């Protein structure tokens, strides 16, 4: 109530209704945070005592909490999302995660507006842009992501873009298959990974680049402590902690 996720119809009315905020988070973020993130958060201290300042995603608190054969090197929470459940419920966590990321592009700092405003795309001319991203921005040709998210991509892609934008299943730790693109674009991808894996992702793109190719990164930047409004600083700190809990990753400062 204090964060205006829900609100009274009028002061003292005793009747609580949804707001745009709760409508945004109800289906995806509540489930994701309560089922996965909270489970990891309660084990974070124990995991730090056990593994120290680990950069391995399979040693994250969330992986330990879900405990579904994820302790092998190279496994991540996303592996759990893809394989969780049986029958029609198989992969439900990954579908929910995809829905959450897609919803996030419709509001605030995650809005696609910042993608369009942040770079002079028109100056690229007749360019090839590879969007190494979750379905949502529709800038890339192709859009690359987990194979399991292709049905969601097909269901949400506007009809007038189907002849220009395609989905391509791709593991971004392996060499980039689209060679010679003008831009390789990553929106809220690199903050999911520790420095060790962040570098592996970038090194997998470099062999595909031509002279003049660019890697464009859209990620949050942590402001120096005490320089942002308190609600924003609290939100960004919580996001930073969530990256640690889920993947042993982090948000970066401008200097980092």
Which residues lie closer than 8 Å to 32 by C-beta, 6 or more apart? Answer: 93, 96, 97, 100
- In the chain, where the domains are located: 6-83, 111-219
- Six-digit token string for 87: 């029958």
The pLDDT confidence band at residue 72, using thresholds 50, 70 and 90, is low
Could you report the per-residue pLDDT of 79-135, keeping only the tens digit for each?
A: 777 777 778 777 777 777 777 676 666 666 666 677 778 888 888 888 878 777 543
CA pair distance 127, 112, nearest whole angstrom: 19
- The residue ranking higher by pLDDT, 73 or 179, is 179
- The residue ranking higher by pLDDT, 223 or 160, is 223
Could you report the per-residue pLDDT of 199-240, keeping only the tens digit for each?
A: 999 999 999 999 999 998 888 889 998 898 988 888 888 889
Cα–Cα nearest to 105, from 96, 113, 95: 113
Q: In 10 A of CB 178, how many CB atoms?
A: 18
Q: Check if the beta carbon of residue 252 is closer than 8 Å to that of residue 221.
A: yes
Could you report the per-residue pLDDT of 28-55, keeping only the tens digit for each?
A: 677 777 777 888 888 899 999 999 989 9
Render 29-69 in DSSP notation, one character per residue: HHHHIIIIIHHHHTTHHHHHHHH-S---GGGSHHHHHH-SS
Checking if the pLDDT of 249 tops 80, the result is yes
The pLDDT confidence band at residue 153, using thresholds 50, 70 and 90, is confident
Checking if the pLDDT of 25 tops 50, the result is yes
Compute the average pLDDT of residues 174-201: 88
- Mean of the per-residue pLDDT values for the chain? 80
CATH label, 111-219, candidates 2.40.50.140, 3.40.50.150, 3.30.465.10, 3.40.50.11260 = 3.40.50.150
CA pair distance 243, 256, nearest whole angstrom: 16
Q: In 10 A of CB 172, how many CB atoms?
A: 20
Residues carrying an active site annotation? 191
Under DSSP, is residue 122 helix (H, G, I), strand (E, B) or coil?
helix
The pLDDT confidence band at residue 138, using thresholds 50, 70 and 90, is very low
Question: CA 210 → CA 127, 136, 179, 215, distances in Å?
Answer: 13, 27, 8, 11
Q: pTM for the whole thing?
A: 0.74
CA pair distance 158, 161, nearest whole angstrom: 6
The Cα angle at residue 30 between residues 26 and 34, in degrees rounded to 5: 160
């Amino acid at each position: 109530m204090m964060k205006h996720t829900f609100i009274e119809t009028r002061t003292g009315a005793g009747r609580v209704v949804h707001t745009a905020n709760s409508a945004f988070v109800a289906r995806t973020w509540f489930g994701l945070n309560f089922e996965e993130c909270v489970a990891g958060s309660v084990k974070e201290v124990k995991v730090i005592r056990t593994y120290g300042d680990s950069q391995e995603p399979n040693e994250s608190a969330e992986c330990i909490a879900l405990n579904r054969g994820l302790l092998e090197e190279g496994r991540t929470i996303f592996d759990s999302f893809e394989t969780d459940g049986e029958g029609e419920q198989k992969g439900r966590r990954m579908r929910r995660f995809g829905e959450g990321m897609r919803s996030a592009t419709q509001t605030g700092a995650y809005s696609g507006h910042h993608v369009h405003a942040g770079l002079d795309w028109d100056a690229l001319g007749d360019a090839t842009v590879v969007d190494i991203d979750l379905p949502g921005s529709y800038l890339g040709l192709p859009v690359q992501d987990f194979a399991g998210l292709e049905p969601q991509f097909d269901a949400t892609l506007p009809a007038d873009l189907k002849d220009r934008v395609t989905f391509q299943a791709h593991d971004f730790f392996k060499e980039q298959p689209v060679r010679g693109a003008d831009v390789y674009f990553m929106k809220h991808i690199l903050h999911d990974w520790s420095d060790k894996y962040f570098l592996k992702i970038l090194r997998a793109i470099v062999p595909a680049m031509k002279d003049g190719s660019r890697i464009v990164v859209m990620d949050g930047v942590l402001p120096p402590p005490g320089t942002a409004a308190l609600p924003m600083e609290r939100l960004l700190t919580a996001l930073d902690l969530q990256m640690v809990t889920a993947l042993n990753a982090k948000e970066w400062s401008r200097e980092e």
